[in-house]
Structure 1
Amino acid sequence: MKIALIGIGGHSKVIQEMISEQAGWEIIGYFDDQYEQEFFKDECYFGPIQTSLKMHEYFCDVKYLVAIGNNRTRKSIVEKLNLPADSYATLVHKSSIISKRAIIGHGTVVMPGAVVNTDSQIGQHSIINTNAVIEHDNMLGSYVHISPNATLTGNVKAGDGVQVGAGAAVIPSKSIGEWAIIGAGGVVIEDIPSYSLAVGVPAKSLRNTGEV
């Protein structure tokens, strides 16, 4: 599979290494608005993000991945590219544990050591980061980021754009509204409203984060 990678920051470095370990996968281009113009080097294409769309002209089997950790930025890029959902690859590290009954959307990345258990669903362009645990019957939206070592226990719902910080935990059957942020180490024991920042043990909503 040929991959056009969007983004060249720290999160992208991890994804690049994951791709290098996938049999038959090859990065054919790196695209980021840090590049002012297109160029070709070491058998790879480089250029601003919008120039990645040219890869369809060169390769019939190219897939895209947005390798950017910020949820809002990832959403903005996907909307600007305006590609069909199946234009994006889904990348799952070989050390992760994924139930055969789990559903993972296009463009989502599951990092090393992560667990996604039975009947859980994860939307498009989400990040399940290193050693995160998504227990049974979770329903996660698109553009979600579950940070390293975070745990979502059974039957948790998280709307689009939710970010759960490193080491945070959510007890069973709780809901986190869209674009809410749970601070690192927080413990969610009650529903969290959309567009809110919640921190602490137990996690309490502090302020509104603003609508997308």
Structure 2
Amino acid sequence: MRYILIGDSGHSKVIEDCIRANNHQVIAKLDDKYESVFKERACMKGPISAISDLLDEKTKIIIAVGHNAARRKITERLQLAKERYGTVIHPSAIISSSATFGYGTVVMPNVVVNADSIIGNHVILNTGCIVEHDCIVQSFAHISPSAVLTGGVSVQEGTQVGARSSVNPTIQIGKWTMIGAGSAVIDNIPDYVTAVGVPAKIIKERRTLND
């Protein structure tokens, strides 16, 4: 399998490692920080607009951008069919056979996804996170390194659960919300807020997706 990564930063490096660990190939890394197309160590680089010259039926795309709202904005800009996107799972991840994944999602090293969990589109399951049984992680969400979702947790669209956070069973976290690193979520959290601490408390409302 061949991949084009949209984004060329630290996050894209980890995704590239995951792809290569599966013996697949990254043929291009496109980012609007580049003004023209060039080749670097057998990989094409250039602006995102160069995708039209590189994409073919044997090539999949991953939006290799860690910021959730930016990832959604890029998908809206590209307007590509879902079949164009790949799903990348590092071989060290432990994935239940009953778990399901959407397109464009990346699963980093040492992730665990247990029985009957549902993972949406363009989700990031970052290094060493645990998604227990019957969880739902909706599209454009990001479960950060070593975060733990215990059984039956629901994380809505665009939300980020910070590194080493834990979420109690059956908790619901709203859309486009931020859970701070190291937090313990023991109550439901609404949409468009930032919550931090042990236990997690709301500290601000998010006026835009970029807050």
Q: Distance in 1 between matches of 2:173 and 2:53?
A: 38
Question: Separation in 2 of the partners of 1:193 and 1:211?
Answer: 15
1:125 matched to 2:122: yes
Asked if the contact 1:50/1:81 (under 8 Å) is kept, the reply is no
Equivalent positions of 1:173-188 (< 5 A) are: 173-188=170-185
- After superposition, give the CA deviation of every residue in 1:91-133 in whole Å (9 maximum; x if it has no partner): 0011110000001111101111110000000101111011100
Query: What is the letter of the counterpart of residue 3 of structure 2?
Result: I
1:192 counterpart = 2:208 = no
Q: Where in structure 2 are the equivalents of 1:103-182 lying within 5 Å?
A: 103-182=100-179
Contact kept, 8 Å, 1:143 with 1:162, in 2: the verdict is yes
Structure 1 runs, 4 residues or longer, greater than 6 Å off: none
CA distance in 1, matches of 2:126, 2:39: 31
Q: Does 2:66 match 1:69?
A: yes
1: CA distance, partners of 2:62 / 2:51:
11
SS in 1 for 2:157: coil
TM-score, scaled relative to structure 2: 0.95
Q: What's the RMSD between the two structures over aligned residues?
A: 1.2
Gap regions ≥5 residues in structure 1: none
**CA-to-partner distance for each residue in 1:56-93, whole Å, 9 max, x for gaps?**
3xx32110011111111111111101111121110001
- Trace 1:29-68 onto structure 2 (pairs within 5 A): 29-56=28-55, 59-68=56-65
Other structure's SS at 2:53 match: helix
Cα distance, 1:211 vs. partner? Answer: 4.0
In structure 1, what is the Cα distance between the partners aligned to 2:208 and 2:178?
A: 12
Amino acid at match of 2:181: A
Match of 1:202 among 199, 204, 207: 199
Q: Secondary structure at the match of 1:53?
A: helix
TM-score (norm 1): 0.95
Q: Deviations over 1:119-176 (max 9, x none)?
A: 0001011110111000000011101110011000011111100100000000001100
Matches of 1:174 and 1:32, distance apart in 2: 37
